[in-house]
């Protein structure tokens, strides 16, 4: 009896294994004609808090939402603003009015045609909710002129309007007016846009399911970043929430997932040498910086900040942070070095000096008397933590009495809001489209930059007559920020690591994996 029972169990187990194993196609079978389609499975590291992108700056929310929503203008691959849902954009002579002619026949995922009413409702809500738009476009309003024309009226004739509107964080997604009208304080309850994929389902902590939008109307032109035509070759997309990086790695290796985002830096070499994978390391995420508290404590003294900056060896910090020379770039650019409009190496004379003796001398001249300096970092992100550990050592060599305090991410977000809590903080700084949006110059963001010259020059940049003039002023300001005010010491720029199976064709990476144009054989 017992033997029979055991045999039954073994038989069931083997049966289950056989039933579970993949059906491998026989030689020659199915290879005759490659047909694109199927479900694209993307493994992401965290679940977005919401897909209402007017409310959140979460990069996970943006990675998903870029496929659902579109904007009036968006970034091309050179991070320059170009029309998407707008057909044309005209600026008035006085620079106070922008007229957006909308493309006709654009359908929302609910079947309704997009008109000026939807655009006005979306854009005005975005100006109200977005932390950047609220400051940079304060007092601006979008008004309907006719069903396909929207006018933006500005308080000041600033020139970076389109760049701000093309920003990635908290982007101005166009949603149906009625969806926005019924939104609560926690955001919209329906995720409806005009993008190439429509929202289908969200299984909490499992996946977000999008399906190809058959009535999608792509813009004209070649695909270029977030603009141009967007042809969809897959039927469905599933964003799987896979918090463990080793699971994402094993998943993409075995084909369980087609694309894995946010791969750990230390797996880079293994991934690039894995034969069935294609691995990307685009420098489009941001930089790692040391933020000084300029509101309270001893770091309000700019001479102290200059002294510490002189002693920092950025190469060592970045190598510890990401562990691979191929995954970081040393550059004093506060903006992305890839940004065609704003990249400048002004300030390079005081960047990455690593001059401990000079730092000691400057500290002495600044009146530093061994006061305790609190250095904040999070342990939730390895590159932040590793940077902080090396930085602490460097500070000790300079003679700075630094105390490293490591917190989990939610705790750090809370504690850093208290100016009296900390002096230094290691932070990741995302790229933005204009200097005015940099966290290094933001008076409200922890660090609390508050400098007359910075704010005046930023205003001048925003009203500069030409791009060249604006860039020259920005170059001068970046030099001033490195040499005089030192709001942050930027260690360097780091790449993100994204892997995909080699079965995918034409996969483009622009901040994240773009899911249009990518082809998957059924």
Partner 1 sequence: MKMYFLKRLLSLIPVLFIVSIVIFMIIHLTPGDPASLVLGEEATEEQIQAMRADMGLDLPILTQYFHWIGNALQGDLGTSYFMRQPVTEAIVSHLAPTISVAIIAGTISLLISIPIGILAATRRGTNTDRTVMGISLIGMSVPSFLLGLFLILLFGVKLRWLPVAGYQPITDGFFGHIKYLILPSIALGSMHAALIARMTRSSLLEVLNMNYIKTARSKGVHEYLIITRHTLRNAFLPILTVIGQTFGSLIAGAVVTETIFNIPGIGQLIINSVERRDYAVIQGVVLFVTCTYVLINLIVDLLYGVIDPRVRLNKK
Pick between residue 169 and residue 347 the one whose CB is nearest to partner 1. Answer: 169
Instruction: Write the DSSP symbol of residue 482.
Output: I
- Contact segment (CB under 8 A) with partner 1 among 102-110, 234-242, 278-286, 393-401 equals 234-242
4 or 22: CB nearest partner 1: 22
Q: How far is the CB of 407 from partner 1 (least distance, A)?
A: 8
Residues 128-157, interacting with partner 1 (CB under 8 A): 131-132
Taking the complex as a whole, the smallest distance from the CB of residue 248 to partner 1 amounts, in Å, to 8
Q: Which of 3, 21, 214, 369 binds partner 1 (CB under 8 A)?
A: 21
CA distances from 118 to 124, 173, 178, 285 (A): 10, 10, 8, 31
Q: Considering the complex, what minimum distance in angstroms separates the CB of residue 128 from partner 1?
A: 11
- On whether the CB atoms of residues 84 and 179 are closer than 8 A, the answer is no
Sites for partner 1 among residues 48-67 (CB under 8 A) = 49-50, 55-58, 61
Exactly one of 4, 17, 23, 452 binds partner 1 (CB under 8 A); that residue is 17
Q: How is 378-446 classified by DSSP, letter by letter?
A: ESSSHHHHHHHHHHHHHHHHHT-EEEEEEE-HHHHHHHTT-TTT-SEEEEEEE--SSGGG-GGG-SSST
Query: How many DSSP H helices and E strands does the chain contain?
Result: 15, 23
Rounded CA-CA distance 488/291 in Å is 5
Per CB under 8 A, does 316 bind partner 1?
A: no
CA pair distance 307, 357, nearest whole angstrom:
10
Nearer to partner 1, 196 or 446 (CB): 446
Nearer Cβ to partner 1, position 325 or 408? 408
∠ CA 493-496-499, rounded to 5° = 155
Phi, psi of 208 (to 5 degrees): -115, 130
Residues 30-49 close enough to bind partner 1 by CB under 8 A: 47, 49
Among 67, 75, 140, 170, binds partner 1 (CB under 8 A): 170
Determine contact, residues 185/48, Cβ cutoff 8 Å: no
**Rounded least distance, CB 3 to partner 1, Å:** 12
Residues 411-430 close enough to bind partner 1 by CB under 8 A: 411, 413-415, 417, 430
Residues 198/175, Cβ–Cβ less than 8 Å:
no
* Cβ-based burial of 160 (10 A; exposed 0-12, middle 13-18, buried ≥19): buried
CB 25 to partner 1: min, Å: 14
Question: Is 376 or 474 the residue whose CB approaches partner 1 more closely?
Answer: 376
417 Cβ neighbours under 8 A, 6+ residues apart: 446
CB of 236 to partner 1, least distance (A): 15
Can you give the binding site for partner 1, defined by CB under 8 A? 9, 16-17, 19-22, 47, 49-50, 55-58, 61, 131-132, 169-170, 185-186, 203-206, 240-244, 246-247, 250-251, 253-254, 256, 407-411, 413-415, 417, 430, 439, 444-445
């Amino acid at each position: 009896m017992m033997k029979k029972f055991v045999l039954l169990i073994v038989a069931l187990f083997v049966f289950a294994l056989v039933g579970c194993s993949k059906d491998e196609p026989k030689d020659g079978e199915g290879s005759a004609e490659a047909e694109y389609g199927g479900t694209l499975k993307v493994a992401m590291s965290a679940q977005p808090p919401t897909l209402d992108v007017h409310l959140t700056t979460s990069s996970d929310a943006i990675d998903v939402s870029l496929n659902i929503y579109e904007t009036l203008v968006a970034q091309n691959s050179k991070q320059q603003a170009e029309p998407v849902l707008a057909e044309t954009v005209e600026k008035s002579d006085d620079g106070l009015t922008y007229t957006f002619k909308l493309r006709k026949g654009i359908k929302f995922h609910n079947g309704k045609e997009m008109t000026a009413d939807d655009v006005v409702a979306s854009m005005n809500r975005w100006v109200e909710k977005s932390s950047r738009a609220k400051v940079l476009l304060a007092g601006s309003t979008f008004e309907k002129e006719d069903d396909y024309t929207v006018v933006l009226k500005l308080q000041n004739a600033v020139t970076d309007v389109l760049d701000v509107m093309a920003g990635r964080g908290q982007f101005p997604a166009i949603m149906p007016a009625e969806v926005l009208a019924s939104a609560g304080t926690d955001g919209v309850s329906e995720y409806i846009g005009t993008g190439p994929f429509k929202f289908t389902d969200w299984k909490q902590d499992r996946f977000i399911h999008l399906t190809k939008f058959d009535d999608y109307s792509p813009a004209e032109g070649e695909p270029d970043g977030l603009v141009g035509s967007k042809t969809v070759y897959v039927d469905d997309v599933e964003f799987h929430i896979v918090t463990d990086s080793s699971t994402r790695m094993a998943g993409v290796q075995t084909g369980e997932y087609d694309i894995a985002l946010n791969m750990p830096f230390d797996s880079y070499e293994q991934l690039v040498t894995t034969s069935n994978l294609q691995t990307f390391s685009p420098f489009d995420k941001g930089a790692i910086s040391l933020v000084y508290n300029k509101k309270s404590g001893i770091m309000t003294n700019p001479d102290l900040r200059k002294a510490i900056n002189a002693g920092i060896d950025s190469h060592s910090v970045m190598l510890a942070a990401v562990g691979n020379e191929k995954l970081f770039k040393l550059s004093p650019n506060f903006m992305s070095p890839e940004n065609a409009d704003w990249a400048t190496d002004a300030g390079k004379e005081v960047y990455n000096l690593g001059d401990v003796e000079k730092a000691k001398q400057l500290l002495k001249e600044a009146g530093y008397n061994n006061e305790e300096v609190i250095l904040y970092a999070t342990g939730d992100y390895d590159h932040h933590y590793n940077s902080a550990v090396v930085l602490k050592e460097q500070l000790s060599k300079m003679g700075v009495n630094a105390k490293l305090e490591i917190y989990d991410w939610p705790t750090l977000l809370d504690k850093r809001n208290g100016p009296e809590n900390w002096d230094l903080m290691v932070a990741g700084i995302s790229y933005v489209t204009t200097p005015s949006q940099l966290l290094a110059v933001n008076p409200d963001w922890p660090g609390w930059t508050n400098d007359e010259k910075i704010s005046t020059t930023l205003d001048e940049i925003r009203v500069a007559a030409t791009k060249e003039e604006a860039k020259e002023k920005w170059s001068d300001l970046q030099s001033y920020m490195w040499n005089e005010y030192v709001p942050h010491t930027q260690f360097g720029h780091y790449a993100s690591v994204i892997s995909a199976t080699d079965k995918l064709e034409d996969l483009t990476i622009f901040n994240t994996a773009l899911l249009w144009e990518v082809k998957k054989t059924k």
